[in-house]
């Protein structure tokens, strides 16, 4: 046979993590045409990771989300609000954990019990015959104290508490159980056990043919019924009792529905040979492990879980047991800066914290178990993956396509800046709107705001806005709706063409062209746009307004900053838009529909029903008295002409410059309606708690030369419509995604509706 010799390429600096060794390895890869521009960028001090990694070349980042607050019954009997970091790339995981945390907290928090902490090393001896194996077993048992002294001499924290011996023919498996303080203890137990083995080999009166530090009996990083029974890692449990009402409010299902599926699913687990019973405990454990510097290979055994659900008279008791949670608050990767911060977030950094850490992991894992089970039995789990019947386009717009030629082709307006070069800029102060944020949950294409620098002059910045399609917006809303109520999600899809989001991507561009052509002074300057329906490109280019030139920006949560002169100027500005649009019904490429919320009446009626169930503010009776169906007759009886309205006219979409002039943007929800709709929405956002709306209403009434009594009827109709549609959507969405302004704005709208001072 011909001998084959393979020349294995030599990787320089192997085993060293010095700066020069890292550079040599990266150069080695570049010579093989392998470039890692992102991977090699890192902020890790090399001396801090020298014992955590070999042949270092860079780092990867995992996004970390905040879970909590979760109410925890602490060691001292005091209740405490706790949080956890969740490092994951799985969308909706953090949301689901937070929903479970909300349910547990509304139920009074979770109780936990720390059973024990052990770490196991299981060496194996090979002897000549079964008699010697038995003799060695007896030697170890009778000399436990001496073996313990030797083992513990090599650790400040490890305590050997037990050795269990199992002779199998001429083999002996010895199970060394340690308690390891706040360290997970795999390395500690290996060192201590190795020295104990040497002591045994030297002092045993018989021949040991061979021995190894691990005979696989420890089931290290594997699931083992023995470890579940005997212990490896932390054994911890958590439980909570949840009332039927809280289950219905948060999970949108019932206790009976959960119990209907619980026992059959347990039987299936047994039938299929599953070890333990859980829904997706591994998700929560993996997310916390990745954030806090734990041994990721231990996720497998640590995620062994036993979920139990017990029917009570008025609710359910949820219990979760984690028998093999291999964790540490010292050692491993816990000393690294970010992982240390993550542990600090949980109050679990350093010595004396492993018990708390185990209990919190159990609590947050229980939260996810309950939330996911609820999603499955309510239908949310399936509905959240429901499609809208739209085929994916062949080629979405990529950021790499936005080059000099592309930008020049869309900047065709007279005020557009000249394009000399392109530099992508950050604009952290400028949030994408709610609609874009929702659509980004269901699509990975280029959408939202992007800032480009194209020349060095004062107007050398261009703000690109890539619009999501209305189908993508509806899909984003659908994700929220299925988390709130299955019926609401179905109604959303049935009535989507009668919602204001329909054709929002076309309305945004059409309105901006219209404003530009009419010389409207209260919107960002229009520079151009691009539409490619086949590729779903709906791109607007407009002026970038520097934040230092504004006095009010993103002020939806700051009504105290709004002065009466600001409100008046905004009314003047939107009135000028209204005046330009009386008699119009659309443009060549898109119609601007009349807002008729009763056409989607079943959707809004269900929205109102959910809101009534969850509203904990004033004027509940006013909310209950409103009727979406009655709005049609009220509208038909109004003697008020319709015009185009902004229909999202609030401080999220209005900035006020330092010279006092407002700038209005985000026109994608434009519809035809009475002008009072814009005015009343603005007032609900900017009025102080006890401030009257009447002076501003009278000002607008005079501005449009309307009869005051008729104006009031129209304003009251506008408020009712706002409450049942836009504000109800904000508030009910808060079950999933809380908007800080939502309750205040809804409360103000109900107050104005009920106030004889206003009407």
Which amino acids are annotated catalytic? 90, 295, 385
Alpha carbons 237 and 271: distance in angstroms, whole number: 25
Residue 295: how many CA atoms within 13 Å on its side-chain side? Answer: 20
The alpha carbon dihedral of 281, 287, 288, 290 has a sign of positive
Q: Are 176 and 155 in contact (CB under 8 A)?
A: no
Residue in the structure block whose two tokens are 């995992």: 62
CA distances from 569 to 520, 574, 660, 661 (A): 14, 9, 8, 7
Q: How far apart are CA 527 and CA 418, in angstroms?
A: 11
DSSP string, 279-311: SSHHHHHHHHHHHHT--GGGHHHHT--EEEEEE
- The answer to whether the peptide bond before residue 69 is cis (omega within 30 degrees of 0) is yes
CA distance readout (Å), 184 to 144, 208, 455: 23, 31, 56
Residues in the chain: 759
C-alpha dist (Å) from residue 299 to 94, 426, 494, 663: 18, 37, 43, 52
Tokens of 319: 């219990």
3-state SS record for 634-688: HHHCCCCCCEEECCCCCCCCEEEECCCCEEECCCCCCEEECCHHHHHHHHHHHCC
The DSSP line for 507-549 is HHHHHHHHHHHTT-SSSPPEEEEEEEGGGTEEEEEEEPPPGGG
71 secondary structure, DSSP code: E
- For residues 344 and 340, give the distance between their C-alpha atoms in angstroms, rounded to a whole number: 6
Q: At what angle do helices 186-203 and 144-152 cross, to 10 degrees?
A: 130
CB burial class (10 A; 0-12, 13-18, 19+) of residue 106? middle
Is residue 609 within 8 Å of 731, Cβ to Cβ?
no
Q: How many CA atoms lie less than 13 Å away from 334 in the CB half-sphere?
A: 24
Tell me the CA distances in angstroms from 559 to 487, 562, 677, one per residue in order.
Answer: 35, 5, 19
Quote helix, strand, coil % in the chain, to nearest 5: 45, 20, 40
- Cβ atoms 236, 112 nearer than 8 A: yes
User: Given the structure tokens 């000393």, which residue do they identify?
Assistant: 335
């Amino acid at each position: 046979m011909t001998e084959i010799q393979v020349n294995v390429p030599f990787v320089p600096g192997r085993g060293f993590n010095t700066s020069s060794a890292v550079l040599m390895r990266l150069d080695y890869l570049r010579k093989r045409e392998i470039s890692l521009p992102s991977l090699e960028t890192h902020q890790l001090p090399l001396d801090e990771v020298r014992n955590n990694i070999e042949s270092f070349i860079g780092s990867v980042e995992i996004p970390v989300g905040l879970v909590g607050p979760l109410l925890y019954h602490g060691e001292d009997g005091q209740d405490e609000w706790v949080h956890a970091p969740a490092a994951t790339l799985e969308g909706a995981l953090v949301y689901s954990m937070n929903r479970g945390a909300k349910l547990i907290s509304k139920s009074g928090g979770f109780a936990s019990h720390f059973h024990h902490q052990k770490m196991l090393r299981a060496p194996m001896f090979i002897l000549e015959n079964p008699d010697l194996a038995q003799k060695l077993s007896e030697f170890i048992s009778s000399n436990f104290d001496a073996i313990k002294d030797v083992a513990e001499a090599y650790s400040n924290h490890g305590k050997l508490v037990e050795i269990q011996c199992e002779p199998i023919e001429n083999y002996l498996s010895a199970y060394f159980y340690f308690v390891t303080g706040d360290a997970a203890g795999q390395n500690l137990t290996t060192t201590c056990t190795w020295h104990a083995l040497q002591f045994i080999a030297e002092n045993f009166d018989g021949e040991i043919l061979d021995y190894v530090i691990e005979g696989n009996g420890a089931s290290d990083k594997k699931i083992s019924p023995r470890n579940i029974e005997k212990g490896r890692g932390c054994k911890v449990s958590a439980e909570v009792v949840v009332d039927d009402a809280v289950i219905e409010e948060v999970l949108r299902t019932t206790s009976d529905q959960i119990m209907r599926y619980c026992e059959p699913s347990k039987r299936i687990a047994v039938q299929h040979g599953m070890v333990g019973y859980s829904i997706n405990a591994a998700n929560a454990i993996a997310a916390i492990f990745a954030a806090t510097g734990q041994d990721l290979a231990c996720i497998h055994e640590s995620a062994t879980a036993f979920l139990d659900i017990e029917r009570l008279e008025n609710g359910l008791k949820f219990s979760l047991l984690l028998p093999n949670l291999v964790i540490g608050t010292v050692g491993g990767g816990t000393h690294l800066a970010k992982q240390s911060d993550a542990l600090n977030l949980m109050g679990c950094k350093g010595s004396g914290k492993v018990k708390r850490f185990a209990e919190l992991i159990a609590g947050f894992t229980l939260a996810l178990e309950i939330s996911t089970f609820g999603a499955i039995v309510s239908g949310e789990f399936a509905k959240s993956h429901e499609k809208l019947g739209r085929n994916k386009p062949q080629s979405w717009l990529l950021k790499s396509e936005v080059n000099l030629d592309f930008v020049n082709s869309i900047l065709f307006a007279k005020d557009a800046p000249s394009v000399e070069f392109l530099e992508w800029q950050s604009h952290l102060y400028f949030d994408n709107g709610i609609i874009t944020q929702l659509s980004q949950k269901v699509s990975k294409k280029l959408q939202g705001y992007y800032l480009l620098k194209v020349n060095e002059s004062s107007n050398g910045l261009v703000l690109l806005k890539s619009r999501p399609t209305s189908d993508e917006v509806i899909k984003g809303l659908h994700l929220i709706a299925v988390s709130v109520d299955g019926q609401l999600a179905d109604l959303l899809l049935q009535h989507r063409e009668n919602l204001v989001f329909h054709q929002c991507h076309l309305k945004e561009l059409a309105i901006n062209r219209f404003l530009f052509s009419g010389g409207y002074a209260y919107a960002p300057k229009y520079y151009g746009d691009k539409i490619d329906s086949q590729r779903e490109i709906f791109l607007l280019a407009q002026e970038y307004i520097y934040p230092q030139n504004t006095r009010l920006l993103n002020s939806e949560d700051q009504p105290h900053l709004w002065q009466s002169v600001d409100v008046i100027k905004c009314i003047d500005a939107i009135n000028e838009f209204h005046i330009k649009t009386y008699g119009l019904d659309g443009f060549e490429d898109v119609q601007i529909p009349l807002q008729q919320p009763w056409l989607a009446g079943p959707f809004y009626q269900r929205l109102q029903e959910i809101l009534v169930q969850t509203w904990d503010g004033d004027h509940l009776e006013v909310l209950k008295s409103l009727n979406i169906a009655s709005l049609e007759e009220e509208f038909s009886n109004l003697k008020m002409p319709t015009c185009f309205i902004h229909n999202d006219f609030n401080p999220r979409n209005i900035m006020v410059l330092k010279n006092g002039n407002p700038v209005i943007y985000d026109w994608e929800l434009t519809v035809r309606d009475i002008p009072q709709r814009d005015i009343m929405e603005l007032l609900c956002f900017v009025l102080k708690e006890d401030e009257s709306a009447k002076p501003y209403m009278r000002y607008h009434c005079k501005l449009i030369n309307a009869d005051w009594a008729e104006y009031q009827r129209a304003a009251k109709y506008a408020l009712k419509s706002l409450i049942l549609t836009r504000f109800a959507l904000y508030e009910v969405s808060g079950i999933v995604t809380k908007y800080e302004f939502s309750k205040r704005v809804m409360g103000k709208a109900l107050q104005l509706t009920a106030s004889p001072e206003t009407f």
